[in-house]
Structure 1
Amino acid sequence: MILYWQYISTKLKNFRIYIKSKLQDTNAIRLAVFEGVILVLCICFVLIIIYHAPKMHTWKTNIENNRIMDKIKRYNSMQIIYNTDIYGPVDSDTVIIVIHVRDKLNYLQYLVDSLSRSRNIERSLLIFSHDYYNENINKFVHKTNFARYIQIFYPYSIQTHPNRFPGHEVKECIKLTTPNENHKSLCHRKTLLIQEKHRYWWTINTVFEGLQVSKNISNLVLFLEEDQIVIRDFLYVLLRMNFKRKTLCPNCNILSLGTYNSSFKPPDTSTISISPFSASKHNMGMAFNKTTWHQIRNCAREFCTYNDYGWDHSLQYLSLNCAQLNVMMIKGPRIYQLEKCNNTNINHSKSCNFDTITKIQKDIKRKRRNLFPIRLQVVNEVVANNVIKQSGFWNDDRDIKMCMALTSGAIVLKKSN
């Protein structure tokens, strides 16, 4: 009996060893299968990522654009005026200075520095109108301590609408196969150029109609660009011109402080010329009040339907065909244009130089005794050339409709409570 039990025990032990070995083999097989499945899944995942990489980039871009758009909406709705605790509220004597800001921080730094050195700048309100959202630029603007300021952001920029109207719609262009004029217009929209006209029209509508601080007052509004600098008596001259306008040129409804001819003589610092609006002469340092704005706004159809991406050429067409714009311009400019850079983005360009700054500073130093003139006089009346050569790129119906929508108030700023 004992021998039999030993025999059974030995057989059971051998069977357990056999079963254990089989189970080990089974686990090995299962492990190998599991590892194979994981490997296949990883390969599939990599292939999916490679296939959807462009879409994932688009998703990431859309998320970032949505984040920027939310910040833009918040800025535009809050309409916060900074430094009122130092310089008081905006009143009827405040000169409003609108500064168009793109993405050229170096340029903007020179402009702001020149503004800070100007006499009576603390009596002004600076409106920084951006068509590009950039945190570094915002931080720089928030360092402004010499005047009141507010920031607004163009909400339909190419930055936030890179693949849809009013940006460039690549998908829609690819779908088009019929070579007709409408399709050609869609596929060849010069979005960077077109944005300039949209941005200008949005800004001017917003300043006079949308902002609570400026829509109910008839203050003088001066328009500057980020790539310009001002002379320290520019506000003094602007107010003198506005005061003398009624006697020197009652029909003048636009004042101009800039000219592309910087080689003026000292006597020109106190002389003015009078002429109808010309895009090539008067598109720098323009200033006008709400009365003039209403004249321009009533001719919005002429501005919005004219086939030219340039806001200045469109304004000249408006002047010739709807509401005549006459300009009083100081011959000795108080606003200078900086040289352009070879690279599109100055923040990443090593080819940019600011030799113009040195030249301007030397020129101003030579003529500093002629600044702050007591008297202004008209030396001649210039008849502008009424012939305009269209630049085109403004024949898409959607651009025209958007322009008219901005005018009619369909797209406005709403101040948050």
Structure 2
Amino acid sequence: MRYHCFNLFFEILYTKCHGRNTSNSIYTLNKLWKIYQNFQFLNTLSEEYPKNRTLLRKSVIRDEINKVLKVLSPSLKLGDPKNISHVSHVVDTIEVSLNRSEIIRLKNVHNRLVNLKHLVESLTNAKHIDKSLVIFSHDYWDDEINHFIRSISAFKVMQIFFPFSIQLNPFSFPGRDPRDCLWNGTHLKNVTKCLNLNWSDRFGHYRVASLTQIKHHWWWKLVQIFDKIRELQEFRGYVLFLEEDHYVFPDILHILKLLVVESRKLQEPVNVFCLGNYQGQLAKDSTVTYLRKWFVSGFNMGFAFNRDIYKDIKKCAKEFCSYDDYNWDWTLASVVSSCFKKSPPALTLRFSRVLHIGSCGTHVRGKNCDLVKELALVSWKLKRFSKKFFPTKMEVKKYSKFSKRMMMMNGGWRDIRDHSLCLAISNGTSDTETVLNNLQDKNFKFEQIQ
């Protein structure tokens, strides 16, 4: 009852405050929104959780929950271990006995539940999926999505939640502060000092929170997997990156294992494997893999790498966090080509094992978005190429047509606050509240986060 009353109270107050351009109204609304979000979060924790999940170490769960409780009351703590049983889905994981050579699949989840269901359906049909851990990294808290993920029984799952999301900070950085400049700066004729006036990108434009969040989230989940999650500290296998609008073929894990086997026969170590591309499928190429330099932007769908590659990326954190491009893949492509001592080799597939079924998303919007037609095409391909799945070996060919491409810098990432948050994430900060308070301060200085 109290939950529904609080919900109604918030909606009424939002209606009263919305549209007012006073700093007091914005400040009150922003603080109330944070409390509301956390109240929703805590309310969900009381729901019964499926018994077929294994709890993470109690100390880990307690630390995660205390971060949330601290927002509501600095003195409130989850001290009683018996209460952990009610909050296991905050960080839901497999037993600590994860094999060092098994594969982790990392999914970026926003709010497209329909697409996510089709991805999970395709994963369920993938051979060897029962031996893998699937991590869902969220930048949006949604009860329906959480319930769906908690109902998965075909494979082991873990959920992690991005703490610097727009949902939690809609009216302040890393969301859009009302004092920020508009994207194209059209209001500067009337406002001489918006908050980020001096931080326009190479095109004269200002940050768009919904776009910068994608890069922050991708970087954050990378650090979490390889540095922060305790039970994965000894993991030396491969992490396969997928997104909620992907669909995988049933032999994707089988193929990845074959690529790893082939890589060990090569003179030069290969730790990057690209199982998806945008070139489509040709039956004659179903067993062909190319050895080539890793061009990230051309193979940003369904790629996998291990801790060795992550360490090289992490050494280039400053370059990643300062490169003026809101796209994580174009940024990573620049880092690989300009910061790495040597561009790492990769094994790529000509016959893609990953399909993109979200034609309309961040960059593309229009009337021609038809998920039904895309799924019909997927179904046709599954039948058309069924005899080409699960080959016994792969044929490695050297790709000789590679030429160094000029890096495209798309802008949208010149705001010093984005640079600072990105570096804070790189440093593995756990004090989310302090970081945000510093970045949301109108007198913020870059040195505060260093």
1:238 is aligned to: 256
Match for 1:340: what amino acid? S
2:404 is aligned to: 385
Work out whether residues 277 and 354 of structure 2, in 8 Å CA contact, stay in contact via their aligned partners in 1. Answer: yes
The sequence identity of aligned pairs, in percent, is 27
Q: How far is the alpha carbon of 1:373 from its aligned partner?
A: 1.2
Change (3 A) 1:328 1:176: farther
Give the TM-score normalised by structure 1: 0.78
1:74 is aligned to: 65
The structure whose RCO (Cα within 8 Å, separation 6+) is larger is 1
Change (3 A) 1:230 1:163: same
Matched, 1:114 2:129: no
Q: How far is the alpha carbon of 1:69 from its aligned partner?
A: 6.7
Matched, 1:405 2:405: no
Q: How far is the alpha carbon of 1:116 from its aligned partner?
A: 0.5
Q: Give the gaps of 5 or more residues in structure 2.
A: 1-12, 46-63, 69-87, 182-186, 433-450
- Give 1:369's match in structure 2, choosing from 387, 390, 393: 387
1:63 is aligned to: 35
* Superposed CA offset, 1:45-66 (max 9, x none): xxx9997565476565343234
Work out whether residues 246 and 358 of structure 2, in 8 Å CA contact, stay in contact via their aligned partners in 1. Answer: no
1:300 is aligned to: 317
Q: How far is the alpha carbon of 1:105 from its aligned partner?
A: 0.1
Q: How far is the alpha carbon of 1:370 from its aligned partner?
A: 1.3
**Distance in 1 of aligned mates of 2:305 and 2:415:** 30
- Give 1:316's match in structure 2, choosing from 325, 333, 342: 333
**Distance in 2 of aligned mates of 1:196 and 1:391:** 14
Match for 1:124: what amino acid? S
**Distance in 2 of aligned mates of 1:307 and 1:152:** 27
Higher helix share: 1
* Superposed CA offset, 1:14-46 (max 9, x none): xxxxxxxxxxxxxxxxxxxxxxxxxxxxxxxxx
Change (3 A) 1:305 1:116: same
Give 3-state SS (helix, strand or coil) of 2:230's partner: coil
Change (3 A) 1:59 1:400: closer
Give the TM-score normalised by structure 2: 0.72
Give 3-state SS (helix, strand or coil) of 1:140's partner: helix
Q: How far is the alpha carbon of 1:292 from its aligned partner?
A: 1.0
1:43 is aligned to: none
- Give 2:246's match in structure 1, choosing from 222, 228, 231: 228
* Superposed CA offset, 1:191-220 (max 9, x none): 111111100000000000011121222121
Q: CA RMSD in A?
A: 3.3
Matched, 1:260 2:315: no
Matched, 1:208 2:210: no
Work out whether residues 115 and 244 of structure 2, in 8 Å CA contact, stay in contact via their aligned partners in 1. Answer: yes
**Rg larger for:** 1
**Distance in 2 of aligned mates of 1:81 and 1:91:** 17
Matched, 1:182 2:198: yes
Work out whether residues 94 and 133 of structure 2, in 8 Å CA contact, stay in contact via their aligned partners in 1. Answer: no
Q: How far is the alpha carbon of 1:321 from its aligned partner?
A: 1.1
Bigger mean CA offset, 66-75 vs 122-131:
66-75
Q: How far is the alpha carbon of 1:353 from its aligned partner?
A: 3.0
Matched, 1:275 2:274: no
Change (3 A) 1:383 1:356: same
Change (3 A) 1:50 1:247: closer
Bigger mean CA offset, 124-133 vs 359-368:
359-368
Q: How far is the alpha carbon of 1:93 from its aligned partner?
A: 3.1
- Give 1:159's match in structure 2, choosing from 161, 167, 171: 167
**Distance in 1 of aligned mates of 2:431 and 2:256:** 30
Q: How many residues align?
A: 360
Q: Give the gaps of 5 or more residues in structure 1.
A: 1-47
Work out whether residues 205 and 412 of structure 2, in 8 Å CA contact, stay in contact via their aligned partners in 1. Answer: no
